[in-house]
Copies of this chain bind each other. A is one copy, B any other.
Amino acid sequence: MTIETLSETSCFGGRIGFYRHASSSNNCDMQFSVFVPPQAEHGKVPVLTFLSGLTCTEENFMVKSGAQRVAAELGLMLVSPDTSPRGEGVHDDPDDDYDFGLGAGFYLNATQDPYAAHYHMYDYITQELQAIIFSNFPGDQERHGLTGHSMGGHGALTIGLRNCTTLHSPWGQKALTYYLGDDQFAWQDYDACEVARRSGDVTKFDSILVDQGAADPFLAEQLRPELLEAACKEGGLPLELRIHDGYDHGYYFISTFIEEHLRFHAERLSD
């Protein structure tokens, strides 16, 4: 497993870098970014992986969130993967929309042709990328948190709980039909609400923190946090859902609240 360094520079006393490698899960080259905090000079540090939303690459979070400042204070390594396989031969949305195909891997393993050939983001995030991170960077494998935004926030929930709910949004319905087929039973492993509802074995979570902007244009039709709230209640999961007036779906929302998510994880990942 060799990785190619695309760029590296200093940032808040640590190092930010962009990397490329041949992915066996996705059967194509993949890129990711890593911020190594200055504390890593003295030993392994906990790792927080951020899963991005629709249309994003490995770059958006590192460029726009400002999270490196707090990560450098807390001694957290940050990892930001791309959101789908890419390159020649990777099938995109037949309608060329932004909400499916390239930039829209939904953190699942596709079973339907032609997507099954490359779209294995679930395996990529849960297995391959972890192996690469922990063999190439000074991260502590025993202390690894997961967070994200939009499609990536959902991905963090499904993967974090065991897998996670997209059944009730048009985005999710489109992607799951293409990637997994018409049988909605097969969708349940990748639906945060379904997973939360049946989660008897997730007592290791002392809490799940979800922030949501009240001025988010996708709130009523696509995001529907009330479904997650009901499912967590049913499954006995300790969800803290916070609604913030005036905030929309964009990166100013993320940059405003990311600090609290980093502190949330750092507290739980401390030695």
Contact = CB atoms under 8 A, between A and B. Distances in A.
Interface of A: 9-13, 15-16, 63-66, 68-69, 213, 215, 244-248, 250-253, 255-256, 259
A173 to B, nearest CB: 28
Given A64-B63, A251-B63, A215 B9 contact: yes
Nearest to A247: B10
A256 B66 contact: no
B215 A246 contact: no
A252 B10 contact: yes
Contacts of A247: 9-11
A15 to B, nearest CB: 8
A11 B65 CA distance: 12
Given A9-B247, A9-B253, A10-B246, 5 more contacts: A9-B215, A11-B247, A11-B252, A11-B253, A11-B255
Contacts of A253: 9-11
Nearest to A255: B66
Most buried by B among A10, A213, A248, A251: A10
Contacts of A246: 9-10, 15
A250 B9 contact: yes
B10 A255 contact: no
Considering residues A9, A65, A213, which has the most beta carbons from chain B within 10 angstroms of its beta carbon? A9
Contact of A9 (B10, B13, B252): B252
A127 B38 CA distance: 44
A149 to B, nearest CB: 15
Nearest to A62: B252
A244 B13 CA distance: 10
Among A15, A16, A245, A246: residue with most chain B CB under 10 A: A246
A263 to B, nearest CB: 14
Contact of A66 (B10, B15, B66): B66
A247 B246 CA distance: 36
Given A68-B255, A255-B69, A9 B63 contact: no
Contacts of A16: 252
Given A9-B248, A9-B252, A69 B66 contact: yes
Contacts of A248: 9-10
Contacts of A251: 63
Contacts of A259: 69
Contacts of A63: 63-64, 251
